[in-house]
Chain A
Amino acid sequence: MNTASPKMLQCSDMTVLERQNACLKWQQEQLQQQQQQEQQSYFSELSGVFSSQVQGFQGGLVSGDSVLGDMVMTRQVKPDPGLETAWHEMEKVDMAAMGFGPCGYSNGPDFDMNYAISRTSSCPTFVAAAVAAQAVEVKGKESIVSEKMGSTVGRGSFKKRKVDTLQNSKVVAEDDSKRIKACAEEGESKITGPNTNKSSSSNNKNKKETSTGTSKENSKVSDVQKPDYIHVRARRGQATDSHSLAERVRREKISERMKYLQDLVPGCNKITGKAGMLDEIINYVQSLQRQVEFLSMKLAAVNPRPDFNIDNLFAKDVFPSCATNFPAVGMSSEMANNPPYVQFNPVEQVVSSCGLEMGINSLDMALRRTISAPVSIPYASFLDSSCFTQIQPSATWDVELQNLYNVAFDQEGSMPFPSQPFTGTLLEKQNWGPELI
């Protein structure tokens, strides 16, 4: 991103808008960095920011179509890094067209909007310039809010802003307005995201300043000054009744969510079209639910050791990191009761290593190495799970463990007996009851 700045500086015909756009990109970069953070903290920050800022915005928030709400939504909905990398590339492409401007011009959303405009390749720079020119006028009250919005809104909102800027440009630059509008139309048609939402704050301003000469401009505005009031404008060449406008907003929302789902569900990239996507999503949810059932069945069948100190164990082991306390605790208890514990060290190493899989593998190896010591082997096999708990008398463990050891020393670890009703029932998932009775 920074590489573009020298280019930008060299542009001779830089307009204020272009400079603003460059600043916007900057902010975007920072935004991207911020996007790495947790969604929730972001969300709370967002909501905190907004709630403290303008009441009108809250009014806008309440109404689902408000920009703010949508922005929040996008924040919530799109954390994925995949998008960000794509965004990054887009930014690089656009960088060339942008000028570097004074960053003091802090109209966040305007920047974003301008950026968004340039992002859509269909819009030439002059559009951006026009937009920027307009954006300059738009400042003022919205500066604070827009900055916040700019800083907190994710990529999805950029799309929205794009629409806004397009519309802003239409409003302001009358000469270029029609051309810009045409561009905007093209751009918008290419964009499926919720474009109109973002326009609210800035469009509000635009509306006020530029009057409402063109009724054909489309922008959704959630008025900052007048809460609970959404202005929606029809796009040029499209129906202007409120129904279709509201529907368009909904459609854009839905498509935005579909995109997010597309990222969540693996293997959905090739599928286009909502119907196919929905089918994939349905299949995926079904498969996940079945997996949960399968795993809980397996858990029911597998014989757990008594006196599992599971909470301790899992809190550390399920997650990649392992607590340092763990081996120490286990060591002390184990050593006290079972001094000749050959496997302890490898097991301890296993436990302290990251990830269960690694632990399982090394445990397996450790067990195989010490195959000559029957008592300790079975004990070691349970060490991972039960280790740092009370010691069971070896005798009672032996039988059970040796069964386990003989039968299930493969990585899957499923016992034959439980697996029988298991697989049987799996085959006929729908008929649990009669089968097992």
Chain B
Amino acid sequence: MNPQHLNASSLKSRFTRRFLRALTKINAQKPISSSSPREIFQRYGRIKAAADKSMANSVRSRRTWSRAMLWKLRSRSYRQASSGRRSAVKTSTTTSHQAIRKKTNHEKENKPTKTGEDQVGFVVQADELRELVPGGEAMDLCNLLDETAHYIKCLTTQVQVMKKIVDFYSL
């Protein structure tokens, strides 16, 4: 068979490698064979975080949503590490928002002088979208749509890869 030449640095391959590494780490931490539902749930949380993290890392900081996601994940891990201290949580979340806004403002070249006319009809949906897309709170509609497009692309890649991994695992 002729092996096709993979694009070694495509988003898919980057994500796959990172995610698999994280997955093996997670699986190595605890024996899986006899997990209680609670353990399974915990592992689920870790796996999901690993998936998001590897996806965001594959995109690096080129996108606002990836930066926001990395921020969230890191702040969450800090929070878990210092679970007793409430202040850490607050500061991390506020600083993350500030950081996101800074980044978005930095990259926004032109701010629209008026946003009302354009967005009268779509404010509700735009807000919903902002909730969905990480880091969307501090973006105008134009950039939000941009980020959404890239985010959708990455999500589909993530789903594809994870499906294949699941199939593999369950053989």
Contact = CB atoms under 8 A, between A and B. Distances in A.
A414 B171 CA distance: 9
A153 B137 CA distance: 31
B13 A319 contact: yes
A425 B37 CA distance: 10
Contacts of B109: 62-64, 69
B128 A282 contact: yes
B149 A299 contact: no
B83 to A, nearest CB: 15
Interface in B84-112: 108-110, 112
B113 interface: yes
A284 B152 contact: yes
B118 A300 contact: no
A285 B132 contact: yes
A322 B3 contact: yes
Contacts of B171: 360, 363, 381-382, 384-385, 413
Nearest to B20: A310
A64 B16 CA distance: 34
Given A264-B153, A321-B5, A436-B41, A299 B165 contact: yes
Interface residues of A, number: 83
A315 B155 contact: no
Given A261-B145, A292-B155, A247 B114 contact: yes
Given A63-B109, A77-B149, A250-B142, A295 B169 contact: no
Interface string B139-171: 001100110110111011011011111111111
A400 B167 CA distance: 18
A282 B125 contact: yes
A303 B31 CA distance: 9
A286 B12 CA distance: 21
Contact of B108 (A64, A243, A302, A308): A64
Contacts of B43: 300
Interface in A56-82: 62-65, 69, 73, 77
A292 B152 contact: no
Given A281-B148, A300-B43, A318-B161, A286 B48 contact: no
A225 B20 CA distance: 52
A253 interface: yes
A421 B39 CA distance: 11
A342 B20 CA distance: 29
A136 interface: no
A258 B162 contact: no
A136 B32 CA distance: 73
A356 B3 contact: no
Contacts of A251: 118
Nearest to A69: B109
Interface stretch (A164-172, A183-191, A271-279): A271-279
A408 interface: yes
A275 B133 contact: no
B153 A299 contact: no
Interface in B15-66: 16-17, 20-21, 23-24, 27, 32-33, 37-38, 40-41, 43-44, 46-48, 51-52
Contacts of A289: 132, 155
A62 B122 CA distance: 27
A311 B21 CA distance: 7
Contacts of A254: 118, 141-142, 145
A430 interface: no
Nearest to B129: A282
Interface of A: 62-65, 69, 73, 77, 242-243, 246-247, 250-251, 253-254, 257-258, 260-261, 264-265, 274-275, 278-279, 281-282, 284-286, 288-289, 291-293, 295-304, 308, 310-311, 313-315, 317-324, 352-354, 356-357, 360, 363, 381-382, 384-385, 400, 408, 412-415, 418, 421, 425, 432-433, 436-437
Interface of B: 1, 3-6, 12-13, 16-17, 20-21, 23-24, 27, 32-33, 37-38, 40-41, 43-44, 46-48, 51-52, 108-110, 112-114, 117-118, 121-122, 125-126, 128-129, 132-133, 141-142, 145-146, 148-149, 151-153, 155-156, 158-159, 161-171
28 contacts: A63-B109, A64-B108, A246-B112, A261-B149, A274-B122, A275-B122, A275-B125, A282-B132, A285-B151, A289-B132, A292-B52, A293-B48, A295-B162, A297-B40, A297-B48, A299-B165, A301-B44, A302-B166, A304-B169, A310-B24, A311-B21, A314-B17, A318-B164, A318-B165, A319-B6, A354-B1, A382-B171, A384-B168
